[in-house]
Structure 1
């Protein structure tokens, strides 16, 4: 039995799941009766992880957003990981949504501080865009997992490499 146990906290999102959710949302757009006759589009930029939604109606733009987010949730992508970048009004209404798939330094510091303030017997360290948590007891690691989930950060946090 190992003397120390550890796991990593990351915000990585499976790119294939994002693509699948995008394709499902596009299919639903084609079949929705309430969107017939209204110009609506969904695009996805893989390099920047940005969804570009556009519609001729602001109400239908909100429907597009709801469809996309529901498909992402069904693919186990947390809705907190979707951040609204910009919203444009005009002849066409446009909305840009970014998928946040990495832990920024501010969020990493916040997670690290919450772990230290919990007074659990664990050590945590920031390693690039992930946080390594080490402890002698697995129960303490599970407590850290619950603590981090309850922080309600705008990230799709996952725990991996539990050893």
Structure 2
């Protein structure tokens, strides 16, 4: 009897590359003419970013710079979930940006439902923050990966543990 093959669908962020992106963005911000003398800063915390600046133009510009650095370092910009721009202390503004790690229950259900719609002989199983797909045929698994890559779920998907 042939053993089932499987792989996992996850949405993960390389935090070391995220840290490097933040550091590069801060270097560029410090050198840019439109940021001279400003209190603009990006702080990377465990699962979020804190942006501080004098006005919303600078906060949006900082976010654009950060996204550019993330793209160059191979970090998906889909993991960023910017919050509202709010007032902070001494006339500055702040924005909290959540870094999404893992698949939420809703996204996992959406991915599993899409896999079922493909009508291939595969089983999709939701496991915490990932989806495991198994089948007797590796070709079917590769078709699932191909179809998932062509559809946008709003998060960056990685395919790991192909066995």
**If the length of structure 1 is used for normalisation, what is the TM-score?**
0.89
Q: For 2:97 and 2:19, locate their aligned partners in 1 and report how far apart those are by CA, in whole Å.
A: 14
For residue 141 of structure 1, give the secondary structure of its aligned residue in structure 2: helix
Gaps of 5+ in 2: none
Task: Tell me what 1:41 maps to.
Answer: 41
Task: Tell me what 2:73 maps to.
Answer: 75
- Relative to structure 2, which stretch is displaced further, 107-116 or 153-162? 153-162
Length, aligned pairs only: 160
Task: Tell me what 1:53 maps to.
Answer: 51
Tell me which of 82, 86, 93 is aligned to 1:84.
Answer: 82
Task: Tell me what 1:66 maps to.
Answer: 64
Q: For 1:35 and 1:139, locate their aligned partners in 2 and report how far apart those are by CA, in whole Å.
A: 53
> What's the offset of the Cα at 1:112?
0.5
For residue 78 of structure 2, give the secondary structure of its aligned residue in structure 1: helix
**If the length of structure 2 is used for normalisation, what is the TM-score?**
0.89
- Relative to structure 2, which stretch is displaced further, 149-158 or 77-86? 149-158
Kept in 2: contact 1:13–1:77 (CA 8 A): yes
User: What do the CA deviations read for 1:120-149 (whole angstroms, capped 9, x no partner)?
Assistant: 121111111111111222232222123223
Within-5 A mapping of 1:87-98:
87-89=85-87, 91-98=91-98
Task: Tell me what 1:121 maps to.
Answer: 121
Gaps of 5+ in 1: none
Task: Tell me what 2:99 maps to.
Answer: 99
Query: Pairwise CA RMSD of aligned residues?
Result: 1.7
